[in-house]
Structure 1
Amino acid sequence: MNTTKFLFFSVGVTLMLGSCSGGKLGEIEPTPPEDGLVSVSDYNGEGYALPHGKETEQIAESHRELIEEATIAFFQENYQTEVVVHNVVGAQGSATIFVESVGEPHFYTYAVVPVDESEKKVIANQIWADEYQVQNAIQGGLYHMIFNQAFGQLDEYFTSITKEEEITGKTKEALQNIGGHGFMTPYYFISTDPNDAAIKPVYNLYLQNPDSNIETLKDAYEESLFDKENFQINIQLFMRKKEAEPIEEIFTKVTTNLEEMNNIPKGTYSFYLNDHFIHAESGEGTKENSLKRAFPDYIVKE
């Protein structure tokens, strides 16, 4: 697998560096030690923070209406997409705005607005977003639209298994307030390659005509060019009980189920089973005790 061509990102790391961070497809860094851990069932993004963002966050909040107007206009003008703003988080010299698309394609992403700390103002006319981050988000949403039946099977499975076993996913509020990974559910998110030749014509068509119906979008999809290396479904589940460590039997059961299912989307799957807690400041749940099926031993559906 050519892992260097695919950028897998963690939103926190990406925003701190100000650009996409390179890494192996599906590789997730463990959270810091036990400090600042909160229940996954209660976590809504509160406590999430970026370096040196305390003052800029206060400035941004005092200009919240201006930021929201600029963000909505930015996504409409550049991506022909209506979004709602869920959260604004300060960072060094800027503020990060977490948004969710309205309708389909559905996705979560973010934009960044510069903040002048000395003047205590936001520079709304210089708002920007990482082009790949937004492209990844829209492409993931388009994949979910085109293969809605296959994703429906996957979603039904997670709804069922989380009732059957003592496991759960993230809250919807956490996705809204600090998600930013593209198409997301409480159980997984989609990653796509910017050079994915199969979905690229659909993405281009959407930007040209966002009102294209589902059949037109499906017709634009180049199935013969699909490459599993360019499409990943990243699964993260959590133990429901606070005192529970990740259980090997549950991990094996979910892994086996995914390997044996025939009607779920084609692609490369990674799977992490975490304990009950999320690190509030980073929004991540993967730790040293997490059980994982990821690089280099992915679950592959062809």
Structure 2
Amino acid sequence: MVPISKISLCCLGIIIMLGGCSNPTDTSETNASDDALVSVAEYNGEGYALPYGKETDQIAEDHREQIEEATVTLFQENYQTEVVVHNVVGALDAATVFVESVGEPHFYTYAVVPIDEKEKKVMTEQISADAFQVENAIKGGLYHMIFSEEFKKLDNYFESLVAEGEVIGKTEAALKNVGGHGFMTPYYFITLTSKEEAIQPVYDLYLNDSNESVVALRNAYKTDLFDSENFKINIQLFMADKEENPSEAIFHEVTKVLEEMDSIPSGTYSFSLNDHYIDKKSGEGAKENSLKRSFPDYIVKE
């Protein structure tokens, strides 16, 4: 059995690399060397790495089928949700398994499989998922599901903005292979704090019957318990031109549009405009030159 201290250290490394559950909206600057930076338009997760994962990465790959089977079972039995495995990445005495839900609610998350490096053995009987991360991933997917019309307006705006050719988002492949942030699009991801209560009855209803209708799920939502501070929509865009620094003009334009838009999802919005490059090892794009609208000056929609 892997010592608890090592599993804890592994999970801590995973949380740091994935953005963290204590402050998932943090877009801390990336201290990547130039050789770790790649075009966001081409990035598909290749090169992503977790601490001390070189040996376990190969062991996990050798047991990929076994890991996939255990992961699918885990989410089916514990969350009544079908998932597909996109990527397995070695970490300290473990492997991180990146998954995507099938159908709705739609979300990305991950599981952890302990690995005995000395024995080259994967301990799928000990597979686990961070309950807070998975619960929030499902809740974010449910929120998007029951407020699809409001999100459609937000999505249409970003799609039209990208069509103008000056900014882009992450690739779908990057979301699948190294996403793990819950409900995600190429342009934003949803996070909730542990204090968010409005969506809890929806989540409980879904776990009780994953085939429940959207109407029933929407009716379970407790609008009077909603607090925008506990529901965050984190927007991240990149410059389309490889030579351009983040544009002040575009940053202010997007910020102004978001401030003035109505009938978009309620919540606290943060916005980061980055240059064209992403750190392939962490999958993050925030750097010293990134332009940010975040704490304590969020864009709030009640």
Fold agreement, TM-score > 0.5:
yes
The CA RMSD measured in Å over matched residues stands at 1.7
**Residue of structure 2 in register with 1:213 after alignment:** 213
Flag the 1:18–1:158 CA change in 2: closer, same or farther, 3 A. Answer: closer
Residues 142 and 203 of structure 1 are in contact (CA less than 8 Å); yes or no, is this contact kept in structure 2?
A: yes
Match of 1:51 in 2: 51
Q: Secondary structure at the match of 2:129?
A: coil
d(CA) in 1 for partners of 2:12, 2:248: 29
Shift of 1:19: 11
What letter corresponds to residue 72 of structure 1 in structure 2? V
How far does the alpha carbon of each residue in 1:165-202 deviate from its partner, in whole angstroms, 9 at most, with x for none? Answer: 50000000000000000000000000012331100000
Q: Does 1:172 align with 2:172?
A: yes
Q: Which amino acid aligns with 2:78?
A: N
Structure 2 equivalent of residue 280 of structure 1: 280
Instruction: Give the Å deviation of 1:261.
Output: 0.4
**Aligned equivalents of 1:33, 1:232: Cα separation in 2:** 26
Structure 1 residues 13, 277: CA separation in 2 closer, same or farther (over 3 Å shift)?
farther
Partner of residue 136, structure 2: 136
Q: Which amino acid aligns with 1:81?
A: T
Where do 1:1-302 residues align within 5 Å? 14-15=14-15, 20-23=20-23, 26-35=25-34, 36-302=36-302
Cα deviations by residue, 1:74-103 (Å, 9 ceiling, x for unpaired): 000000000000000000100000000000
4+ residue runs of structure 1 moved beyond 2 angstroms? 11-23
Counterpart of 1:8? none
SS of the counterpart of 1:235? strand
Q: Cα 1:163–1:132, aligned 2, differ >3 Å: closer, same or farther? A: same
Measure how far apart 1:13 and its partner are.
5.1
Aligned 8 A contact 1:109 1:137 in 2: yes
Say if 1:42 and 1:218 are closer, same or farther in 2 by CA, change over 3 A: same
Query: Structure 1: which 5+ runs fail to align?
Result: 1-10
In the TM superposition, residue 14 of structure 1 has moved relative to its aligned partner by: 3.9
In the alignment, residue 285 of structure 1 is paired with which amino acid? G
Contact 1:229 1:268 in 2 (8 A): yes
User: Residue by residue, what CA displacement relative to the aligned partner does 1:248-287 show, whole Å, maximum 9, x if unpaired?
Assistant: 0000000000000001111100000000000000100000
SS at match of 1:180: coil
Identify if the C-alpha distance between structure 1 residues 115 and 12 changes in structure 2 by more than 3 Å, giving closer, same or farther: same
Alpha-carbon distance in structure 1 between the residues aligned to 2:240 and 2:193:
33
What TM-score comes out, normalization by structure 2 length?
0.93
1:12 Cα offset (Å)? 8.8
CA distance in 1, matches of 2:164, 2:149: 23
Report if the CA contact (8 A) 2:18-2:181 is conserved: no
Q: Percent sequence identity over matched residues?
A: 63
Cα 1:19/1:115, change in 2 over 3 Å: farther
Moved more, 12-21 or 140-149: 12-21
What TM-score results when the alignment is normalised by the length of structure 1?
0.93
- For 1:218 and 1:163, the matched residues in 2 are separated by 32
CA gap 1:40/1:253 in 2 versus in 1, 3 angstroms: same
Deviation at 1:164, TM superposition (A): 2.0
Where does residue 5 of structure 1 map in the other structure? none
**Partners in 2 of 1:165 and 1:104 — Cα distance?**
31
